Structure 1
Amino acid sequence: MTERSLSRKQTIFYLAFLILMWGINWPLSKYALKFTPPLLFAGLRTLIGGALLIMIALPRWKQLRLRETWLYYVLSAFLSIVFYYGFQTVGLQYMPAGLFSAIVFLQPVLLGLFAWMWLGERMYTRKMVGLLLGFAGVAVMSLGGLEGGISVLGILLALGSALSWAFGTVYIKRQAAKVDSLWMTAMQIMIGGIIMTAYGSTVESWSTVHWTAAFLYDTLFISVFVIAFGWLVYFKLIGSGEASKVGSYTFLIPVVSIICSILFLNEHLTINLTAGMALIVASILLVNARRRHV
C-alpha cells in the first residue's frame, strides 16, 4: 500500500513532532535507566508501543495478510528495531553517549547513499555535501565525548546501529507497495519488542527493575509517543517523500536532545554545541534546497 503525498503543513507538523519526540527520548531514556537494566527497558518500551499500534491497526486486520507478508515484517523488525535498539543499548556501555550518538547519526548520510543506490533518488554534489555537513555538525557537538575514551567494540556497535537503521528504512520503502504501512510499522515493533524482551529476560533480572511512578510514567510516554507514534510518523514521512531529505532533518534530533539536557539535566552550552547546530542548519538547507534546472 503506497502512501499519499502529504501537504506542506502536514509534513512540517509531522517533522516537528518526530524531531521533538525522538529528541527528548535520549534524556528520558537516560533517566529511566536509573530504575531498570538496559535490555529489559529496550524490550519493554518497544513491546508496549507495538501492542498499542496493533490495537490501532486491528480495524484493518484484513490488510495484515500474515501468510503472504510475514517475512517482510520479520526482516524489518530485525533491521529497524532489534539491531538498531540492540546495538545502541549495548554499545552505550562501551563509550560516551555523545560520541556514540555522533556515529549513529551517520545514518542520514548512509540513507542518502542507499536511497540513491536502491531507491533511484537523485544524488548531486550539494546534497552529499549537505549530508556530510549534518554528520559533521553532530560530530562537533559530541567532541567532548572523546574525553571518555574510545572503544573499538563501541564504535562497531554504533556503526551497526546506523547501518541497520538506514537499511531498515530503505527496505521498508522498497516494500511499501506490498504491505499495509500501518501493519508494517505495528508488526515490526511488536516482533522486535518480543525478541528484545525475551533476550533481556535471559541475561537480566526483572527483580532489579524499580517500578516507581516516575519510571512508569517515563516508560509509558516513551512507549506511546517515541516508539509507537514516532515510528508511525517516521515511516509516513519516508513513504510520502524522498528518504534522504527526511533523513536530513533527523540531524536535528541530537540538537533537541542537547537542549533538553541543558534545561533539565543541568548540562552546559558550549562553543562545540553552537558550532554543531550551525552546521546542522546549513546541512538541512543544502539537502532540501530546490535544484535549479539549466
Structure 2
Amino acid sequence: MSETALSRKQTLFYLVFLILMWGINWPLSKYALAFTPPILFAGLRTLIGGALLILIALPRWKQLRLRETWLYYVFSALLSIVFYYGFQTVGLQYMPAGLFSAIVFLQPVLLGLFAWMWLGEGMYTRKMVGLLLGFGGVAAMSIGGLEGGTSILGILLALGSALSWALGTVYIKRQADKVDSLWMTAMQIMIGGIVMTAYGSTVESWSEVRWTAAFLYDTLFISVFVIALGWLTYFKLIGSGEASKVGSYTFLIPVVSIVCSILFLNEHLTVNLIVGMALIVSSILLVNVRHRRV
C-alpha cells in the first residue's frame, strides 16, 4: 500500500514532531540507563511500542496478509530495529555518546546515495555537498566526544548502526506497494522488540532493573512517542516524499538533543555547537532547494 502525498502543513507538522521526539530520546534514554541494563531496555521500550502499534493496526487486520508478507516484516525488523538499536546499544559502551551519534548520523549521507542507486532519486553536486555539510555539522557538535577516547569496535558498531538504518529505510520504501504501511511499521517494531528482549534476557538480568516511577514514566514516554509514533511518522514521511530529503532533516535531531542537554543536564553552549547548527541549516537548504535541470 503506497502512501498518499502530504500537504506542506502536514509535512511540516510531522517533521517537527519527529525531530523533537527523536531529539529528546537521547537524553531520556541516557537517564533511563541508570535504572536498567541496556539491551533489556532497548527490547522493553520497542516491545511496548510495537504492541501499541499492533492495537492501532488491528482494525485493518485483513491487510496484514501474513502468509504473503511475513518475510518483508522480518527483513525490515532486522535492518531498521534489531541491527540499528542493537549496534547502537552495545556500541555506546565502547565510546563517547557524542562521537558515536556523529558517526550514526552519517545515515542521511548513506541514505542519499542508496536512494540514488536503488530508488531512482536525483543526485547532483549540490545535494551531495549538502548531505556532507550536514554530517560535518553533527561531527562539529560532537567533537568533544573525542576527548573520551575512541574504540575500533565502537566505530564499527556506529557505522553498522548508520548502515542498517539507511538500508532499512530504502528497503521499506522499495516494498511500499507490497505491504500495508501501518502493518509494516507495527510488525517490524514488534518483531524487533521480541528479538531484543529475548536476547537481553539471556545476557542480562531482569533483577537489575529498578522499577521506579521515574523509570516507568520515562520508558512509557519513549515507547509511545519515540518508538511507536516516531517510527510511524518517519515512514509516513519517507513514503510520501524523497527519502534523501527527509533524511536531511534528521540532522536536526542531534541539535535538539544537545539543546535539551544544555537546558536540563547543565551542559554548556559552545562554539562547536554554533558552527554545527550553521552547517546543518546550510545542509538542509542545499538538499531541499529545487534543482533546475538544464
User: Aligning the two structures, in what range does the TM-score lie when normalised by the shorter sequence?
Assistant: over 0.9
Verify: 1:5 aligned to 2:19, yes or no: no
CA distance in 2: counterparts of 1:21 and 1:150, whole angstroms: 28
Unaligned 5+ segments in structure 1 are: none
Q: Are residue 32 (structure 1) and residue 51 (structure 2) matched?
A: no
Tell me, yes or no, if structure 1 residue 166 matches structure 2 residue 166. Answer: yes
Aligned counterparts, 1:1-294, within 5 A: 1-294=1-294
Identity of matched residues, %? 89
- Secondary structure in 2 aligned to 1:279? helix
Query: Cα offset for 1:293?
Result: 3.6
- Kindly provide the CA deviation profile for residues 57-86 of structure 1, in whole angstroms up to 9, marking residues without a partner as x: 000000000000000000000000000000
Hey, what's the Cα distance between the residues in 1 that align with 2:150 and 2:201? 29
Q: In structure 2, list runs of 5 or more residues that go unmatched.
A: none
Q: Distance in 2 between matches of 1:103 and 1:29?
A: 18
Q: Deviations over 1:168-207 (max 9, x none)?
A: 0000000000000000000000000000000000000000
Secondary structure at the residue paired with 2:75? Answer: helix
Tell me how far 1:292 sits from its aligned partner.
Answer: 2.4
Moved more, 38-47 or 284-293: 284-293
Separation of aligned partners in 2, 1:119 and 1:199: 34
1: distance between equivalents of 2:293 and 2:250? Answer: 27
Matching residue's letter, 2:24: I
When the two chains are superposed, the root-mean-square deviation of aligned CA atoms in Å is: 0.4
- Structure 1 consecutive aligned stretches of length 4 or more whose deviation exceeds 2 Å: none
Distance 2:78 2:268 in 1: 36
CA positional deviation for 1:291: 1.3
Matched residue type, 1:191:
I
1:231 aligned partner, one-letter code: W
- Take 2:57 and 2:238, find their aligned partners in 1: how far apart are those partners? 19
What is the distance in 2 between the residues matched to 1:140 and 1:169? 26
Paired AA for residue 115 in structure 1: A
Deviations 1:30-80 (A, max 9, x none): 000010000000000000000000000000000000000000000000000
Aligned partners of 1:113, 1:150: CA distance in 2, in Å?
27
> TM-score, normalising length from structure 1?
1.00
- Mapped to 2, the partners of 1:148 and 1:185 lie a distance apart of 36
